[in-house]
C-alpha cells in the first residue's frame, strides 16, 4: 500500500523539483529575452515569460481575471487528474505514470503562476528561423504524459479487443 502511493507522489515531486530548479537556473543566469545558442540552427536557451497558456494562448490579455482564471483551471485540472488516477492506476501502470507526469507539469507551472504571476519558459527549438513556442520542463512532462496516456489508451483498447475476440 505504501509503495503504491509513494511512487506516484515521488514522480510528481520529481517533475516539480526539476522544473523549478531549471527555471531558477535560467532566471538567475539569463536576463529576460537573453538567448544562448546550444545547437546551431536548432536549439537555444532563451529566457522568456508566458503570461498566457500553452503556446502563448491569452498571453496578450490583460487584467487580474487572467491570472485567477489560469490558477483556477490548473486546480480544476489537478482535481480531475486525481480522479482519473484513482480510476486507471489498477488498469495500467503506463496510464498511472502518464497522469503523474501531467499532474507534475501542471503543479510546476501552477507554482510559477502563484509565485511570479507568469510561467518561465526557456527551451527554444527552431528550424531555419521557424521557432516552436518556447517551453519548459513542466510543459515537457505534460506533453510526454499526454502522449503516454494516448498510447496507453490505444494499447488498452487493442488489448481489450483481443480479449473480447478470445472470449467469443
Catalytic residue numbers?
A: 121, 139
Q: Residue 131's beta-bridge partner residues?
A: 126
Give the cell for residue 151: 498510447
DSSP 89-105: TTT-HHHHHHHHHHHHH
The pairs formed by 26-35 with CB atoms below 8 angstroms and a separation of 24 or more are: 26/120, 26/122, 27/120, 30/122, 35/124
- DSSP code at position 80: H
Q: What Å distances lie between residue 45 and 39, 142, 161, CA to CA?
A: 10, 20, 45
CA–CA gap between residue 32 and residue 48 (Å, rounded): 6
Q: Which residue has cell 492506476?
A: 89
CA-wise closest residue to 116 among 44, 37, 13, 26: 26
Amino acid at each position: 500500500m505504501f509503495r503504491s502511493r509513494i511512487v506516484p507522489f515521488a514522480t510528481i515531486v520529481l517533475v516539480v523539483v526539476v522544473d523549478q530548479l531549471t527555471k531558477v537556473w535560467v532566471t538567475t543566469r539569463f536576463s529576460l529575452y537573453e538567448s544562448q545558442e546550444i545547437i546551431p540552427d536548432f536549439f537555444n536557451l532563451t529566457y522568456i515569460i508566458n503570461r498566457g497558456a500553452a503556446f502563448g494562448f491569452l498571453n496578450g490579455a490583460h487584467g487580474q481575471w487572467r491570472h485567477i482564471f489560469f490558477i483556477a483551471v490548473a486546480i480544476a485540472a489537478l482535481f480531475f487528474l486525481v480522479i482519473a488516477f484513482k480510476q486507471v492506476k489498477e488498469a495500467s501502470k503506463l496510464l498511472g505514470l502518464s497522469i503523474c507526469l501531467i499532474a507534475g507539469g501542471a503543479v510546476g507551472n501552477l507554482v510559477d503562476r502563484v509565485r511570479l504571476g507568469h510561467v518561465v519558459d526557456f527551451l527554444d527549438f527552431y528550424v531555419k528561423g521557424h521557432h516552436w513556442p518556447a517551453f519548459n520542463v513542466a510543459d515537457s512532462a505534460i506533453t510526454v504524459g499526454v502522449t503516454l496516456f494516448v498510447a496507453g489508451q490505444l494499447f488498452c483498447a487493442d488489448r481489450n479487443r483481443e480479449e473480447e475476440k478470445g472470449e467469443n
